[in-house]
Amino acid sequence: MRDVAIVGIGSTQFGRAQWSLLKMMCEASHEALADAGAGDRRPDAVYVANMGAPRNNKMAGLASALVDRLNLYPAGAETIENGPASGASAVKHGLHAVASGMCDLVLVCGGERMQEVNNFEATEFVSYLSHRYAEYVYGVTLPALAGLFARLYMERHGVRPEHLAMVAIKNHANGAKNPRAHLRIPVTMEGILTGPDAHNNNPWIADPLRFFDCCPVSDGASAVLLAPAAMAKEFKPTPVRIAGMGQATDTHAVHERPDPTELTAVRLASEQALRMAGLKPKDIHVAELHDAFTILEIAESEEAGFFPKGQGHKALERGETKIGGRLPINPSGGLKARGHPVGNTGVSQIVELVRQLRGEAGDYQVPNDPRNGFAVNFGGFGNNVLATVLTRGV
């Protein structure tokens, strides 16, 4: 098995795109190829991460369409779908292709354009990820599951609404510094929780979760170019090695888990990724976690091994997860502020970590000279999770 490096990255502005899905994906892909200095070298394969195109954009075979628009034939191409974890899954398939020796250069591009559907439809669509007969038919949505999860978790571990707001405040502050973030509006505790207008600014979505506890519905695309680590010096930027990847599934229906506040798949995937990389949680210098809901950033930071169970909100309170803290989490703004173009999110997390490891994150660069980055990409409501460890250099 060959070591695999990321030799190029690209991404669009996130938010409400003026462009088609395919054009966004072209932009991100072109940027990754240009960033690598790939020149005339063409990918052997193109893997697309997308969740909604066959429903929302009336497009199947999106990967073939991207190859066509990029003029990359006869490169092999597929779309990888794993709900909100499609992005990391597509990178994993790229890792396999290069590691096996079947391919040298693989372009992985995530893209989602959600604006074809309104917010109610988006919630319905994302509910396709819930259990068809045990959840979906009863009208369970992902925000509803997150609300139930949050309530139990908060009661058990003494997490208060202020802690959830702290995640939002931190990630909005970070996103405000990220020129490609969807939401660049810093928010305050007074504005979203304690002030006189807080209830108007921040209405209930699924008690105890409010508007600012939920990520936006975003358009966006991101891309990475993978190559064997041994070939990385043939490309322009500082290479970043995919040191470890882990993946785990869990019960589809959340209520079937022995303890519904345990995100077992996050724990197993993280352990597997760290073991493959030969690292411990304390060796990680920067992380992008899947904060589709604020409570998830806290829970994932514990399941990944960064903080003991029930202590994540205290680390947050102490500022350890801010830019400049001991372990900056979501310096890009996370899903909360950078945005959540669903199938693309896992690729964008990896792109943001590469920016940090190369020292190219500008205003949101973490100052601790990070060498090891870590991402959690969370599918369904924790039924299919991937963790990735990236290390600067080959």
In angstroms, the CA 238 to CA 394 distance is: 9
Applying CB under 8 A, does 3 fall inside the site for a second copy? no
Give least dist CB 95 to a second copy, A: 8
Q: Which amino acid is at 137?
A: V
Q: What CA–CA distances, in Å, run from 376 to 56, 58, 248, 271?
A: 26, 29, 11, 12
Among 10, 15, 52, 110, binds a second copy (CB under 8 A): 52
Residue 390: closest CA among 229, 246, 277: 277
Number of residues that bind a second copy (CB under 8 A): 64
In angstroms, the CA 352 to CA 236 distance is: 18
Among 18, 100, 118, 119, binds a second copy (CB under 8 A): 100
Applying CB under 8 A, does 140 fall inside the site for a second copy? no
In angstroms, the CA 291 to CA 289 distance is: 6
- DSSP-assigned beta bridge partners for residue 385: 248, 378
Among 18, 39, 60, 230, binds a second copy (CB under 8 A): 60
Give least dist CB 11 to a second copy, A: 22
Token duo for residue 311: 């202590």
Binding mask 218-257 toward a second copy (x if CB under 8 A, else -) reads: -----------------------------xxxxxxx----
Residue 300: closest CA among 378, 245, 366: 378
Q: In this structure, what DSSP letter does residue 363 have? A: G
Q: Which residue's CB is nearer to a second copy, number 176 or number 223?
A: 223
Give least dist CB 187 to a second copy, A: 31
Give least dist CB 272 to a second copy, A: 9
Name the one range near a second copy by CB under 8 A: 7-15, 56-64, 108-116, 173-181.
56-64
Applying CB under 8 A, does 188 fall inside the site for a second copy? no
In angstroms, the CA 90 to CA 216 distance is: 23
Among 31, 35, 81, 297, binds a second copy (CB under 8 A): 81
Query: Could you give the angle at which helices 21-36 and 62-70 cross, rounded to 10 degrees?
Result: 50
Name the one range near a second copy by CB under 8 A: 35-43, 123-131, 292-300, 318-326.
123-131
Applying CB under 8 A, does 93 fall inside the site for a second copy? yes
In angstroms, the CA 303 to CA 69 distance is: 41
In angstroms, the CA 253 to CA 257 distance is: 8
* Contact between 91 and 343 (Cβ < 8 Å): no
Binding mask 17-46 toward a second copy (x if CB under 8 A, else -) reads: ---x-x----------------------x-
In angstroms, the CA 368 to CA 302 distance is: 21
The residues binding a second copy (CB under 8 A) are 1, 20, 22, 45, 51-52, 54-55, 58-65, 67-69, 72-83, 86, 89, 92-93, 95-97, 99-102, 125-126, 128-129, 131-132, 136, 247-253, 264-265, 268, 379-380, 383-384, 386
